[in-house]
């Protein structure tokens, strides 16, 4: 260390405090990385690795990026799971004595990204988890908007992993004494960083944000999260919003598997161009609206009053296309206020961010005025559009502002007298320079004489080589620099004026920086109200998007009733109907009466079974979002949960086969579904031997029909299972139609009551042009196998004897998880209260 240069000593003083982070070290206009950090980043980001003198004739490996272009590099590193520490100059280099002071101002981790989030339509969360013996308390925050959500889940590592995957948790914060078995399971989640924080005391500043929270474990998790965030951001988190308690009673819960299987947000094939429900519905004009719409898809409503409230607003915009068009145009002019609020809170907002805020406030005022004409939006009268803040910004800021505060030209003339004075000197100086140049041309007779400026020499007189013979001693010119084609000079008159001009310009820029920082502090007082306006604007944008979709031909407003029956008439898969398919998309209906529980769906591969099931699920989700659906008529119950098992994807990372994944997803449905749920199972049991698979499939159908009683569509190739409709109440058969002629088949894609008489597998193989020898041999084998086909034997004994009520299973799990030696009296009382609550709920 003694042999290092002062700058490198300073670097190691900082680096030693953050050994696990990549240090982006600010030197002038660049962020530089040194030693191992430089080697790693040069490889990850494809940068040139150079070196810098480190003292004692040693070279330090180095790479760097311009400070104004650093974001894409940080995005790439964060995306690959690295932690980045930003080191800034803590004083003006022009005023510093000796080496400029530098220190870390922020640590960026996968869970604390703001500007670094490459996808503006997605939300990235960081969560703190607290184990309270009977469950996991979770506090999750999206740093870019300040949105904070509290949730308590079952004491199950599977549930914790599902929560992290579903909510895009990129970083999870534990107490340092967390059990290793929990960490080992969490480490299996890709792209998830694990961090630790032991402090959980909540600062007084944040108390108003959680004063409605009662459960101690949620408060502990929230405190741990806040302390970790403050330790990485080095600031009070002024943009955090009031903590929301995630109430699963208010929305239809879709687990991660269902969201994935139905391709609600992301295509199953990452590189594919398949539509998702989100990409289909997203006609939003702002990123805020898109993010809100995404959350509506993930959480369809379950309270009939909430659904009808949203439906009425969508209906009003469908029927009034002029109003809808006005709103769409206004929403185009609204910027991402949630992200701007975060930047204001962190004092990192730019002049252009302030202009975006100003323009957004103008458009939001217009949105409110437009909606006041509609009876369905009477609530907008209460919206405060912050006219005072708009006036403040309009009276101070120039419309055409620079990218950073260090460039000047931010404020209007007349706002600040001292700033006006400096500008007058600068403007007058420009006139003086022009007059000086003309005067020198006339005095010297050198017509190509020019007055220029650079940062090294300041102002100078430039004369081309061809006119050098015209320069005389009496001109008073002193040679300063020789170029290939010209010579540069200075003179006493020009240097004396230079001091005045340069100081005026520097002082003007410095003053504007101070005034702009004051403006950010002033605007920060409005943050809670700006966030409310952001929410209002996003809501209108998302409603307009649903209205655009709903206004299309063939869409109808669904209705709901308390009966557990489904009536969907001539519906179509909305994503297929919107795509450019070679064949017409066939409409289908679904009629499930109160007593209907399981529909066993049979038919050939490629016949449309999976499409039909997805179509039903999407119709239910869109309906409970408050959107119209693509059908002639739709009368639905309200589903509290939707479970699906579709596709055949292995969980390679987790070491699980297709069949194991299938069983896990089936188990989640059987354990958690209620009579108000919807289950869609596609060929359960195909991942094992025929008899095993058939036995499991039959047992699952029996369990659903007698115990769970959730509305279920169960597609299968085990035609023997259709016999259950004859002996098991609540089970019926439906099938997809096929037209067969001379062993050639045509898929009709129609779903009808009844059962398919065969699978048509060999016919489909013929369509795939398998060799004729294979086709003929398969037909012979099929005849042999069908001659000794197993007859399904239905027995209710297993279901009736072995079924343990769900609430008793939950209570048993809780009791098994308790360690009598470590539980505290307070925890014991809390536990007893929870067990009583579960017992009451079951009754």
**CA–CA distance, 455 with 153 (Å, rounded to integer):** 62
DSSP per-residue codes, 25-47: EEETTEEEEEHHHHHHHHHHTT-
Q: How far apart are CA 338 and CA 360, in angstroms?
A: 12
- Distance in angstroms (rounded) separating the CA atoms of residues 843 and 836: 11
Quick one: tokens of 53? 């003198």
Cβ within 8 Å of residue 39, ≥6 positions away? 49, 61
Check residue 736 and give its pLDDT.
82
* β-strand partners of 64: 32
Cα gap 122→118, rounded to integer Å: 9
Residue 253 · residue 154 · CB < 8 Å: no
pLDDT at 682: 87
Rounded Cα gap, residues 535 and 818, in angstroms: 43
Dist CA 571 CA 635 (whole Å): 12
Closest among 541, 621, 108, 165 to 326, alpha carbons compared: 541
3-state secondary structure of 832: helix
Q: CA–CA separation, 566 vs 636, rounded Å?
A: 5
For 503, phi then psi, to 5°, come to -65, -35
Report the C-alpha dihedral over residues 660, 663, 668, 670, rounded to 10 degrees: -170
Q: Which residues of the chain have pLDDT under 70?
A: 1-2, 116-118, 270-273, 579-583, 607, 647-659, 685-690, 739-749, 757-769, 772, 774-807, 840-843
Look at residues 726, 691, 687, 686 and name the one whose alpha carbon lies nearest to residue 705. 726
Half-sphere exposure of 558 (CA within 13 A, CB side): 31
Q: What is the pLDDT of residues 320-373, one digit of tens each?
A: 999 999 999 999 999 999 999 999 998 889 999 999 999 999 999 999 999 998
Cβ count within 10 A of residue 367: 26
Backbone angles phi and psi of 606, in degrees to 5: 70, 5
Q: For residue 51, what are its two tokens?
A: 């070196």
**Alpha carbons 520 and 467: distance in angstroms, whole number:** 53
DSSP calls for 220-271: HHHHHHHHHHHHHH-S--TTPPPPEE--GGGB-EE-HHHHHHTTSSS-SSTT
Q: What is the pLDDT of residue 794?
A: 47
Which 3 state secondary structure label does DSSP give 420? helix
| Terminal Cα distance for the chain, rounded | 72
| Edge-to-edge strands, sheet with 253-254 | 253-254, 641-645, 678-682, 711-715, 598-602, 731-741, 744-753
pLDDT at 714: 92
**Residues 176, 834: Cα–Cα separation, whole Å:** 27
Alpha carbons 357 and 389: distance in angstroms, whole number: 10
With tokens 């040194």, the residue in question is: 34
- 119 token code pair: 């996808």
Residue 20: CB atoms within 10 Å: 9
- 600 - beta bridge partners? 714, 733
3-class DSSP state for residue 712?
A: strand
* Paired tokens of 197: 């924080």
Q: Token pair of 787, please?
A: 């001659």
| Helix ranges, 187-240 (H) | 216-233
Rounded to whole angstroms, the maximal C-alpha distance in the chain is 120
Per-residue pLDDT at 690: 66
Give the torsion sign (CA, 621, 627, 631, 633). positive
Sequence-distant (6+) residues with CB within 8 A of 663 are none
Nearest to 32 by CA among 16, 50, 55: 50
> How far is residue 425 CA from its own chain's centroid?
50
pLDDT for position 309: 95
CA dist., res. 316 & res. 224, Å (int): 45
786 DSSP 8-state letter: H
Tokens 């979709």, residue located: 549
- At residue 655, the pLDDT reads 43
Q: How far is it, in rounded angstroms, from Cα 577 to Cα 813?
A: 46
Distance CA 407, CA 505 (A): 10
Q: Is-contact 565 359, C-beta < 8 A?
A: no
Q: Is the distance from CB of 732 to CB of 712 less than 8 angstroms?
A: no
pTM of the model: 0.84
Q: Are 625 and 302 in contact (CB under 8 A)?
A: no
Buried-exposed string 670-708: b where 16+ CB fall within 10 A, e elsewhere: bebbeebbbbbbbbbbbbbeeeebbbbbbebbbbbbbeb
50 CB burial (10 A radius; 0-12, 13-18, 19+): middle
CA–CA distance, 257 with 107 (Å, rounded to integer)? 33
Q: What's the angle, vertex CA 727, arms to CA 724 and CA 732, rounded to 5?
A: 50
Candidates 684, 666, 676, 702; CA nearest to 800 is 702
């Amino acid at each position: 260390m003694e042999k290092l240069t002062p700058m490198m000593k300073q670097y190691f003083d900082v680096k030693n405090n953050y050994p696990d982070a990549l240090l982006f070290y600010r030197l002038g206009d660049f962020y530089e990385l040194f030693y191992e950090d430089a080697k790693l980043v040069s490889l990850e980001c494809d940068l040139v690795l150079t070196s810098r003198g480190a003292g004692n004739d040693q070279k330090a490996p180095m790479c760097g990026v311009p400070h104004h272009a650093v974001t894409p590099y940080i995005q790439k590193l964060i995306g690959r799971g690295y932690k980045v520490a930003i080191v800034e100059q803590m004083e003006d280099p022009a005023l510093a004595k000796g080496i400029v002071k530098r220190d870390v101002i922020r640590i960026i981790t996968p869970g604390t990204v703001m500007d670094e989030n490459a996808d503006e339509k997605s939300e990235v969360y960081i969560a703190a988890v607290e184990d309270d013996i009977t469950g996991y308390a979770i506090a999750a925050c999206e740093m870019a908007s300040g949105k904070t959500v509290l949730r308590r889940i079952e004491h199950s590592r599977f549930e914790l992993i599902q929560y992290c995957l579903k909510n895009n948790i990129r970083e999870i914060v534990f107490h340092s004494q967390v059990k290793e078995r929990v960490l080992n399971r969490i480490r299996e989640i890709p792209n998830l960083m694990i961090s630790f924080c032991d402090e959980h005391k909540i600062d007084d500043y944040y108390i108003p944000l959680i004063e409605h929270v009662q459960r101690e474990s949620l408060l502990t998790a929230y405190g741990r999260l806040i302390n970790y965030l403050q330790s990485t951001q080095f600031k009070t988190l002024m943009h955090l919003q009031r903590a929301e308690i995630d109430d699963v009673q208010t929305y239809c819960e879709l687990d991660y598997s269902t969201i994935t299987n139905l391709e609600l947000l992301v295509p199953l094939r990452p590189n594919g161009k398949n539509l998702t429900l989100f990409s289909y519905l997203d006609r939003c004009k702002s990123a805020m609206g898109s993010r809100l719409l995404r959350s509506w898809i993930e959480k369809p409503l379950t309270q009939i009053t909430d659904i009808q409230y949203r439906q009425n607003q969508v209906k009003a915009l469908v029927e009034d296309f002029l109003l809808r068009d006005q709103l769409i145009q206004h929403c185009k002019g609204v910027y991402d206020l949630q992200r701007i609020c975060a930047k204001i809170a962190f004092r990192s907002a730019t002049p252009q961010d302030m202009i975006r805020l100003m323009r957004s406030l103008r458009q939001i005022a217009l949105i409110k005025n437009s909606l006041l004409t509609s009876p369905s939006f009477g609530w907008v009268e209460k919206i405060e559009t912050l006219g005072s803040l708009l006036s403040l910004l309009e009276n101070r800021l120039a419309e055409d502002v620079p990218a950073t505060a260090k460039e000047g030209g931010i404020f209007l003339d007349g706002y600040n007298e001292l700033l006006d004075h400096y500008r007058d000197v600068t403007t007058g100086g420009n006139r003086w320079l022009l007059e000086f140049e003309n005067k020198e041309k006339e005095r010297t007779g050198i017509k190509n004489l020019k007055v220029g400026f650079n940062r090294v020499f300041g102002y100078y007189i430039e004369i081309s080589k061809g006119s050098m013979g015209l320069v005389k001693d009496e001109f008073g010119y002193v040679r300063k620099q020789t170029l290939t084609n010209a010579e540069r000079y200075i003179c006493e008159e020009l240097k004396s004026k230079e001091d005045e001009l340069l100081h005026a310009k520097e002082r003007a820029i410095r003053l504007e920086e101070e005034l702009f920082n004051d403006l950010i502090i002033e605007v920060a007082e409005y943050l809670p109200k700006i966030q409310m306006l952001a929410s209002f604007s996003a809501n209108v944008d998302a409603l307009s998007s649903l209205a655009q979709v709903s206004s299309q031909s063939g869409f109808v407003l669904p209705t709901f009733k308390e009966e557990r029956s489904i009536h969907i008439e001539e519906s179509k898969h909305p994503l297929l109907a919107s795509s450019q398919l070679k064949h017409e998309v066939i409409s289908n209906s679904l009629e499930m009466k109160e007593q209907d529980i399981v529909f066993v769906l049979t038919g050939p591969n490629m016949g449309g079974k999976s499409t039909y099931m997805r179509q039903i699920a999407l119709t239910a989700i869109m309906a409970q979002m408050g959107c119209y659906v693509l059908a002639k008529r739709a009368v639905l119950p309200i589903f509290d949960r939707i479970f699906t098992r579709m596709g055949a994807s292995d969980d390679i990372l987790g070491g699980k086969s297709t069949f194991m994944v299938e069983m896990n997803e089936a188990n989640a449905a059987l354990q958690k579904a209620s009579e108000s749920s919807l289950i869609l199972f596609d060929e359960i049991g195909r991942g094992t031997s025929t008899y095993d698979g058939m036995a499991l499939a039959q047992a699952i159908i029996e369990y659903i029909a007698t115990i769970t009683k959730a509305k279920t569509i169960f597609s299968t190739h085990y035609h023997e299972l259709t016999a259950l409709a004859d002996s098991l109440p609540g089970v019926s058969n439906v099938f997809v139609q096929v037209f067969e002629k001379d062993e050639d088949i045509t898929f009709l894609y129609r779903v009808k009551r009844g059962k398919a008489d065969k699978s048509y597998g060999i016919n489909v193989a013929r369509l795939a042009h398998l060799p004729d020898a294979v086709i003929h041999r398969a037909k012979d084998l099929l005849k042999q196998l069908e001659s000794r086909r197993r007859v399904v034997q239905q027995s209710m004994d297993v279901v009736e004897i072995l079924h343990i009520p769900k609430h008793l299973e939950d209570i048993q799990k809780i009791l098994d998880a308790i360690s009598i030696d470590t539980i505290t009296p307070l925890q014991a009382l809390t536990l007893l209260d929870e067990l009583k609550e579960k017992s009451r709920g079951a009754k």
